[in-house]
């Protein structure tokens, strides 16, 4: 039983399983930051120009926090889903390797 | 050789793990539900139509009563979405997302009722924020879908 070879196969299988996910999660995280930046800039301009008062400004800041929270929850789900795929791919590889030996 | 011996407990641990988990797979997220994804997209469209209609209405004519029925219908749709997410195992994160969408909607409804109007600035801003929230919910469902493709 070549344990090192099996471990390498498991790592390779886990990597293959999440190949596209890492980039997708990173891109979405960047998009969240950019959207939040734009949203807060728009809010600051509206307050400075007097389009909204202090109360509305405060309410909108709190609201923006909730929107970003919903987006970060999506990142968490995407990450957990990717982890699930990686672990299952590694376990499958391990099982197949053991079966081959038996 | 010595390195191989050090790896044996790790490999045996994995073997035990693989054999002890029913179906020999781990699950961190809920199973994909195509109906929930379709429902997210449907409600997203309803909400966007709502803001479009409101923005097409002159600001002096945006009395709450004119939009009350839409508020109630969409609130009911969102409550149903929260419930559908809540009853699925391993689905706490999606439940929290849909609860945020519901809270934002109830906040808009209360504010409109209290002020009996909504400014263009707020309507445009909130319309865009709902797009961000619904996209986030849809991305969560798509991530679950990808785990099932992997299992098949």
Stated pTM of the model: 0.88
Q: At residue A33, does pLDDT exceed 90?
A: yes
Q: Do B137 and A98 touch (CB under 8 A)?
A: no
Q: At residue B101, does pLDDT exceed 80?
A: yes
Say what percent of chain B tops pLDDT 70: 82
Q: What is the pLDDT of residue A53?
A: 96
Q: What is the pLDDT of residues B103-142, one digit of tens each?
A: 999 999 999 999 999 999 999 999 999 999 999 999 999 9
Residues of A with CB below 8 A from B17's CB? 91
Q: What is the pLDDT of residue B1?
A: 47
Prediction ipTM score: 0.92
Instruction: Please enumerate in sequence order all residues whose Cβ is within 8 A of that of B54, keeping only pairs 6 or more positions apart, or say none.
Output: B62, B67, B118, B123
**Confidence tier at A100 by pLDDT (50, 70, 90):** confident
Q: Do A70 and B101 touch (CB under 8 A)?
A: yes
Cα torsion at B67, B69, B75, B81 (round to 10°)? -120
Chain B residue with CA closest to A32: the answer is: B132
């Amino acid at each position: 039983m070549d344990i090192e070879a099996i471990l390498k196969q498991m790592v390779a299988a886990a990597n293959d399983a999440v190949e596209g996910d890492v980039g997708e999660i990173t891109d979405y995280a960047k998009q969240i930051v950019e959207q939040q930046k734009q949203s807060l800039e728009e809010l600051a301009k509206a307050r400075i120009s007097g389009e909204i008062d202090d109360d509305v400004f405060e309410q909108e800041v709190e609201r923006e926090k909730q929107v970003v929270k919903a987006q970060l929850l999506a990142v968490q789900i995407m990450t957990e889903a990717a982890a699930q795929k990686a672990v299952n791919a590694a376990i499958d590889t391990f099982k197949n390797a053991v079966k081959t030996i038996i | 050789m010595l390195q191989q011996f050090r790896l044996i407990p790790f490999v045996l641990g994995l073997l035990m793990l693989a054999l002890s988990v029913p179906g020999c797979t781990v699950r961190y997220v809920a199973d994909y539900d195509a109906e929930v994804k379709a429902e997210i997209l449907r409600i997203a469209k309803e909400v966007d139509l709502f803001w479009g209609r409101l923005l097409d209405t002159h600001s002096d004519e945006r009395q709450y009563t004119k939009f009350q029925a839409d508020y109630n219908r969409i609130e009911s749709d969102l409550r149903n979405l929260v419930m559908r997410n809540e009853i699925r195992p391993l689905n706490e994160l999606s439940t929290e997302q849909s609860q945020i969408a519901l809270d934002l909607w109830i906040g808009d409804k209360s504010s409109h009722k209290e002020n009996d109007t909504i400014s263009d600035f707020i309507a445009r801003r909130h319309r865009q924020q709902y797009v961000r929230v619904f996209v986030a919910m849809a991305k969560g469902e798509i991530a679950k879908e990808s785990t099932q493709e992997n299992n098949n």
